[in-house]
Amino acid sequence: MRAGPPDFDAVYRANPDPWEVGTSAYERRKRAVVLACLRRDRYTTAWDPACGTGHLTADLAARCGRVVASDGSAEAARIAAERCAGLAVTVEHRALPEPPADDLRPDLVVLSEVFYYLDDATRAATLELVDALAARTCELVAVHWDGSPDDAWLSGPAGQLEVVSRLAERGWVHRIHHDDDGFLLDTLTRGGA
Ligand SMILES: C[S@@+](CC[C@H](N)C(=O)[O-])C[C@H]1O[C@@H](n2cnc3c(N)ncnc32)[C@H](O)[C@@H]1O
């Protein structure tokens, strides 16, 4: 029986970079691979709905007209907002599957290291929301550790498969499956993106 996710606010209060996103070579490589796998040079609007410390969010801002980021932890949202100050990034405190405040039509969606922390109903609702919000042409990147966090509801590989299969059922096209040193990445597109 899994314990389920931690109190993320408490985790960030104890350590503002609990997964060493800013310092570890693994995380740096992961971000570089995410950016390298994007099909387009520029996007109008990215949605990063579990931005954590905002490191990837800030990198995405260099490729996007704007990034709307959010996190279920108020503390993470505060940290990410500080990191992204001065960039074309909006950060909200918002927990999936709650939609963003704006009438957002993202042409890029990033699910990075969050899907396995969502319970069955939230994962299903999140993918429904992605499909409903996505711009006519949209690309989604899912990237997760290839292990099974003790405090998550499912493993990284199982989560990746779920994202790919559920969005494929809704007409999204699976473009990239990348098996790297410690993480898995998949991209899907809709509408010929
Ligand atoms: C391992 S961190 C990953 C952060 C960031 N995406 C990255 O790759 O560096 C997981 C994040 O998911 C957030 N999270 C967990 N459940 C969430 C939910 N239901 N809605 C939004 N964010 C959530 C946590 O607060 C935490 O910041």
**CB 57 near ligand 1, within 6 Å:** no
Question: If you average pLDDT over every residue of the chain, what do you get?
Answer: 96
Q: Is the CB of 142 under 6 A from ligand 1?
A: no
Residue 1 banded pLDDT, cuts 50, 70, 90: low
43 contacts 19 by C-beta, under 8 angstroms = no
Report d(CA 118, CA 111) in Å as an integer: 11
SS3 150: coil
User: Is the per-residue pLDDT at 20 higher than 80?
Assistant: yes
Rounded distance from Cα 191 to ligand 1 centre (Å): 28
145 Cα to the center of ligand 1, angstroms: 13
d(C-alpha 46, C-alpha 156), whole Å: 23
Q: Is 10 exposed, middle or buried (0-12, 13-18, 19+ CB in 10 A)?
A: exposed
111 lines ligand 1 (CB under 6 A): no
Q: Please, which residues bridge with residue 80 across strands?
A: none
| DSSP element (H, E) containing 175 | strand 173-179
Task: Order the strands of the 138-145 sheet from edge to edge.
Answer: 89-93, 64-71, 43-48, 108-112, 138-145, 183-190, 173-179
The third-level CATH classification (topology) of the domain covering 8-190 is Rossmann fold (3.40.50)
127-149: pLDDT as tens digits: 999 999 999 999 999 999 999 99
- Between the CA of 96 and the centroid of ligand 1 the distance, in Å, is 9
pLDDT above 60: residue 111: yes
DSSP readout, 69-133? Answer: EEES-HHHHHHHHHHTTTSSEEEEE--TTSPPSS----SEEEEES-GGGS-HHHHHHHHHHHHHH
Domain boundaries, the chain: 8-190
| Cβ of 100 below 6 Å from ligand 1 | no
The DSSP bridge partners found for residue 141 are: 110, 187
pLDDT-derived band of residue 2, with 50, 70 and 90 as boundaries? low
Contact 42, 64 (CB under 8 A): yes
